[in-house]
Chain A
Amino acid sequence: MKDIDKLQKRNRKLRGLTELAGSMGLAITGLIGLLFLGILIWQIAEPTFIEGERGEITAASESIPESNYRFKWDFPTVDENGKLYSDPVVVRFQWNDENGFHSHDVQINVIDTRQVKTDIYIDSNGVDQTEIEVGRKTNFNAYSSIRVPVSVEQISGPVPNADKTGYPSVNSFVITGDVHILLDDENEQVFQPMELIAWITLLILVIVLTWPIVATLKIIQKLKGRRTLIKLASYVLAGITFVVSDGMFVAAALGGICWIVSGVILYRIAEGIERLESLGRELSEPSRLKHSISDRDGVLMWSRMLLFTSALFIPLLIDIPFLTERYQDIFIPYASGIRAAFYGTIWVMLIAMFVSIPISVGAAIYLDEYAKPNRTTKLIQALVTNLAGVPSIVFGMFGLAIFVKQDGFGWGLGPSVLAAGLTMGVMAMPIIVLAGQEALRSVPRTLRESAYGIGCTKWEVTKDHVLPSAMPGMMTGTILAMSRIMGEAAPLVVIGATAMILFDPEPLAALNGGNVNFTVIPIQIYFWTAEPDHAWHSMAAAASIALICLLIAMNSIAIVLRQHFRKRLKS
């Protein structure tokens, strides 16, 4: 008996040990997975600090150790039209050998033609050339056949690592954002007074709506009976804001909307107070006021979102030259920006949304509300599920054959924004349909049945009862689908997007015969990564960060919307 006890004890010990090892292993695997993902995020952000290439030739202390040495001549100084204007570069080679001290100057002229190069050969007699011509963006070599080190020094000529506009040259964060608050660097005002007043009014009203206090409500109480006047006044102020603004369209539009939303909030509060009074309640109970204002949650959400959005444009004037001002520079990586790509992305997304949302929401409603479970429905359902998993490049080939080329079924739109938007819309369609169906399925059955019970038709039930409850899910799905196609580059490579675009893309160029070329941010990243030069990689990292920031913003809007509507559905 004792032996068996002992055995069991030891077994238990062993079992506990394996138990511990197993669960530790699992936990460690999980943590490693999480760590992996965390490191990934950090690493994606990190390469922006890649050390850029110096534009100068080499420091004087560097020596040529008997073999060959390669020069890099990447950033010659150019003017606005891309013409070279710099002085020639003079390089001095110096060495000491058995014949004594040697010093030779070589003049390097950078010319406009590409792929022209002349190598420099150094032997015991000296340097074979005193003046060479080199095309821009061309590498050329200095070969030395002597046994002693040769030092290289730049004597004259431009040092192109920091150009005349003072763009950051090396080792610096390339997304430069200038944030001006009310005044810019020269102490000049950068805001429009009307918009600023509108924004402040909205801010105050949002605070009042969030925490209703008796003192403030007393003031609003005086406005009762003049509700129409409030609305009218807000419209008039919005109109004035729009007329007075000189040229700043976005700020003026946002200011106008701020006025209107302020009017709506004031109207609702006054309405709520009147309702309370007609019930014979006192104002000293603000919690009652919260319930008497119709749709307080919704108004609060929209006004808060408006407040945050317009904060960027009205009181703070955020200005990111990398994103919205600079085009790609032909020669200087650090002077490049992604303006063309940014606007291209926005246009492609807008066209894709315009194409895909009505069709796919309609299809989702049909499949979930109208369709009888017959063979056609099953077929469509299977097709939708499988289309969502088709590789994106196949959609690109579909777009190439149907939208871009003009033959057979082709529409002949060319490699244009319109063709890209249509292709992306087609790609987003199955994703939105699936998300919409999921949302429609989550609407409780009782809601539909009670609506039918009071005599609604099928369309009325769908439009007035099912769709509003399914809206958050649909919106979330749509935003997620849009953020997915925003980062997609493969179909656009197939369609024929190119990287070197020095103008804003025209969305309808394919129809009225303009310049159809366009680019988007992922394409820009792809082509910059494929460049051999390390400095372009730094720019690719900067563009990646810009893209990821945009995506995270979109995803968080989706998450916030979902949380809000989920809370509302619960209550």
Chain B
Amino acid sequence: MSFLNRISKDKAGTILFLTSLSVILITLGIIQTLLFETITFFTDIAEHRGWFSLDWDFGGILSASGFAFLILLVALLIDYESKKEKNRLSYIPQEILNPHHGIMKAIFIIVLLQLLLNDSFLLGISILFFAMIWRAAGKLQMKRIYGGNIEISNTWRNVLFLFIFITLFDAITMNYSGAFGEFFLQNQWTPTGACEDRRSLCDTMSFGVNSLLLTTLQVAFGALLIAVPLGVGCAIYLSEYAPPRLVAIVKPTLEILAGIPSVVYGFFAFIYIGPLVVEFGEYAFANGWIDDPPNILNPINGAIVVGVMILPLIASLSEDALRAVPNELREGSLALGATKIETTMKVMIQASLSGIVASIILALSRAVGETMAVTLAVGTVAVYTSNMFLPAQTMTAYIAQRVGGDLPFGEIGYLTIFAVGLYLFFITLCLNLLGNKVLSTYREAY
């Protein structure tokens, strides 16, 4: 009754509450439509092929994934040993645990680069993890020797356990089938197949979404590789070095640039960046670095143009984060005798790190969800290959390309776009939740 009383008392409040309820309705509507069609999609395939099944093959231990498993196991051992008790790793010389900084950075860059070029994604990830654990163990030993407060967290160990299971699973299962196994674990995406009737399900159709996911990640991380140094550099320059008059001009320009539609960027990529990338690709092909001649539509092209697209976003969000740092920190650092560059690198960036990280995560989410530019730049052939000079297809591009042909309601092609869309929605939702959480921590800090 109290609710009814409240309604009769405050009409304006109730009406406004109803308007804000529409937001819940929209979200529920989005999730409902995506989920509903996706369930239909999986049931359709499951009726044809079963839900999930595996073929075990222990010979797979000798494959790349098996090697990755071994590397991760060694990393786990190092982690365990280094945290167990004092001087446990003292028989390893210090030069190996803590080499020079320059070597360290070079190794990390090489490890990150091989992640892009490596055929086996899991192997790349495991090498990256190994490098990180090695570094952490080295730092822990340094702290033990020279003193300092030692905090041991076991987060890494949990992550390692998770990845050990994933790689082991990947190594010893050769075939996955059934609805879920095919969708999440296989690599071939041929949703039209070579059937006479394209509308209903047939055996030659294959729905391995990893083919689309790989291209999406290639484009998104490639874009970050371009946008993060330039964007963060731009932000630091604008907030620390640039004269105020320049900032007054550049800030509105950034706003306008962020508002340029993605289809225009796509046009730009199609006309200008594609031919440039092909020239590099021809050079690489002539030297035998890649196996196939390059195409004008390729993920590198998409990565460059998406990188340019998210550059204004990273620049303006990072600049806000840098400006939110209280001036006392900067002045205190300068008063202690630190130079301007030291203040910037060691105080300002440290203090605004969570804001910068949040901007990078939000930009990653934007890059994953980017559609028109990627459709025009990357192409429409879904292949699973690490050669980034060949045309490929991202998740969003698949939806845009497939739906352009006026799909009838309820046929298998119509259902696939919702399955892919739900996966995409889930990825971006996770990234956004993470980004907003990090953003709110830095807003609380100052």
Contacts and interface: CB of A to CB of B under 8 A. Distances in A.
Interface of A: 15, 19, 22-23, 26-27, 29-34, 36-37, 40-41, 43-44, 47, 50, 358-360, 362-363, 365-367, 370-371, 379-380, 383-387, 389-398, 400-402, 405, 407-409, 426, 429-430, 433, 458-459, 462, 480, 483-484, 486-490, 493-494, 496, 522, 525-526, 529-530, 537, 540-541, 544, 547-548, 551-552, 555, 559
A43 B260 CA distance: 13
Secondary structure at chain A's binding surface: helix, strand, loop or mixed? helix
Contact of B237 (A29, A405, A537): A29
B277 to A, nearest CB: 15
Rank and list the top 8 A-B pairs by shortest CB-CB distance, nearest first: A30-B237, A487-B261, A391-B369, A29-B233, A362-B19, A33-B234, A366-B16, A490-B371
Interface string B392-407: 0000100110011010
Contact of B421 (A397, A458, A530, A541): A397
Contacts of B261: 486-489, 522, 547, 551
B24 A380 contact: yes
Contacts of B376: 526, 529-530
A337 B34 CA distance: 37
B307 to A, nearest CB: 9
B259 A387 contact: no
A383 B27 contact: yes
Given A366-B17, A397-B421, A398-B29, A43 B237 contact: no
Given A23-B241, A493-B400, A398 B368 contact: no
Secondary structure at chain B's binding surface: helix, strand, loop or mixed? helix
Given A391-B424, A487-B260, A541-B271, 17 more contacts: A19-B342, A22-B341, A32-B230, A43-B272, A44-B264, A44-B268, A47-B268, A383-B27, A390-B428, A391-B369, A396-B403, A429-B26, A488-B262, A522-B264, A529-B267, A551-B261, A559-B255
Nearest to B16: A366
Interface in B233-289: 233-238, 240-242, 250, 252-257, 259-264, 266-268, 270-272
A394 B263 contact: no
Contacts of B30: 390, 394-395, 398
A158 to B, nearest CB: 30
A391 B370 contact: yes
Given A29-B229, A459-B12, A551-B260, A36 B308 contact: yes
B32 interface: yes
A480 B370 CA distance: 19
B311 A33 contact: yes
B173 interface: no
Given A366-B17, A529-B267, A407 B409 contact: yes
A29 B230 contact: yes
A530 B263 CA distance: 11
Given A29-B233, A44-B264, A367-B20, A555 B271 contact: no
B381 interface: no
A551 B265 CA distance: 14
A529 B266 contact: yes
Contacts of B257: 37, 40-41
14 contacts: A32-B233, A36-B230, A362-B16, A389-B431, A390-B429, A401-B37, A409-B33, A458-B12, A488-B262, A525-B267, A537-B271, A541-B271, A547-B261, A551-B256
B293 interface: no
A370 B13 contact: yes
Nearest to B34: A397
Interface in B115-131: none
Contacts of A365: 16
A426 B26 contact: yes
Contact of A391 (B37, B234, B396): B396
Contact of A366 (B19, B242, B267, B421): B19
Contacts of B418: 397, 401
Contacts of A32: 230, 233
B206 interface: no
Contacts of A544: 263-264, 267
Nearest to B10: A458
Interface in B301-320: 308, 311-312, 315
A529 B371 contact: no
B22 interface: yes
Given A389-B362, A397-B399, A405-B409, A43 B29 contact: no
B372 interface: yes
A398 B238 CA distance: 40
B99 interface: no
B316 to A, nearest CB: 12
B33 A33 contact: no
Contacts of B230: 29, 32-33, 36
Nearest to A530: B376
Given A398-B33, A487-B260, A33 B315 contact: yes
